[in-house]
Copies of this chain bind each other. A is one copy, B any other.
Amino acid sequence: MLRVAVIGAGRIGKVHAAAVAAHPQAQLVAVCDPMGTAAEDLAAVHGARVYKDADALFADPEVDAVIIGSPTPLHAPQVLAATRAGKAVLVEKPVAKDVEEARALDAELATFEHPPVMVGFQRRYDPSIRRAKDLIEDGSIGDLEQVVIVARDPAPPPAEYVAVCGGIFKDMTIHDLDEARFFLGEIVEVSAFGQKVLPELADVDDFDAAVVMLRGADGAVATVMNNRRCVTGYDQRLEVHGSAGSAVMDNLRPTALSVNTAEASGSQQPYLDFFLTRYADAYSNELTAFIDAINTGAPVSPTVSDGVAALVLAQAAEESARSGRTVRLDA
């Protein structure tokens, strides 16, 4: 049994804690959060120890791995401290607060031996997205030509959060950018349009919707469509078009029931509207892959380098949206 600690007892920390508690090969041994009683509350649910201080946690020899769900500015330093203490690390996105810090982290990690470090782009472990990837890799739908990623959140975060989140591309689009790389490999060109559509975010200096085109080194093009608000729920779709066919991912609903009335036919319920529900399987599969990497030395995916690459794309998208120019990246 892998002894796992979770840092950060907020929304994403709770998801990871529950996934660890339910996993047959892992046990949740500690929760760390300096704020209020968050750590205590979460630890109590799972019978885990409490740490208010991450360094104390890293010093605990009874912890094999840590999952870092703390605020973004803490990601890079905590990854370094944890790996230096010999812990395996699964760190939430983004891997660092900006490209420079991310690159420095990646470089530093290359200088010493440490257990696996994995970045939390959980969509790579979603069964539908994974199957789409398999269909390309096994040639079922031919050579990859075009990808469409639609990701629209049910409702925007509070304006105060948006104001400090680093911008929509680093905060929200970054998942889509990693997903685009998952299919296209290295990206060589980025062009983005930002939009402001939400009255409640009108005063924040950030886009609340965006469309991004990305060209891969092999010529395939991915398009990302983001919106901070989708009234029907959490709109998460994917189209992968190859030379011999295509794969299309629909949204998930809470039931398999559709309703027919005098007004409409085939009406289903709104989409699952919470990312934890929509990606429950993905988080569980991600944890399994993390454990496998630790136990068997299986390669990690996504790596810190993948985390760096996603940040580079987010920065390029921001630059393109602001400048009106296509940004070219060194492959």
Q: Which residues of A contact B (CB under 8 A)?
A: 22, 127-128, 131-132, 135, 140-143, 145-146, 148, 150, 152, 189, 191, 193, 195-197, 209, 211, 213, 215, 219-221, 223, 225, 227, 229-233, 235, 239, 241, 243-271, 324-326, 328
* Inter-chain contact A219/B197, CB cutoff 8 Å: yes
Given contacts A227-B241, A268-B265, whether A193 and B195 have CB atoms under 8 Å apart is no
Between A and B, 18 residue pairs with Cβ closer than 8 Å are: A131-B257, A140-B261, A142-B231, A146-B227, A189-B324, A196-B219, A197-B219, A223-B225, A230-B246, A233-B265, A244-B262, A246-B260, A247-B259, A248-B259, A250-B258, A267-B267, A324-B326, A325-B325
Contacts of A250 in B (CB 8 A): 256-258
* Inter-chain contact A197/B328, CB cutoff 8 Å: no
Least CB separation from A208: chain B residue = B145
A327 to chain B, nearest CB (A): 9
Least CB separation from A132: chain B residue = B257
Copies held by the complex? 4
A331 to chain B, nearest CB (A): 16
User: A261 touches which one: B193, B213, B245, B260 (CB < 8 A)?
Assistant: B245
Not counting A148-B225, A152-B241, a sample of 6 additional A-B residue pairs whose C-beta atoms are within 8 angstroms of each other reads A189-B324, A197-B219, A235-B246, A249-B257, A250-B258, A265-B269
Contacts of A191 in B (CB 8 A): 191, 193, 213, 324, 326
Shortest 10 CB-CB contacts between residues of A and residues of B = A245-B261, A267-B267, A128-B255, A264-B267, A232-B260, A324-B326, A231-B262, A128-B257, A266-B268, A128-B256
Q: Which of A195, A241, A247 has the most CB of B within 10 A?
A: A241
Contacts of A251 in B (CB 8 A): 256, 265
User: A197 touches which one: B127, B145, B270 (CB < 8 A)?
Assistant: B145
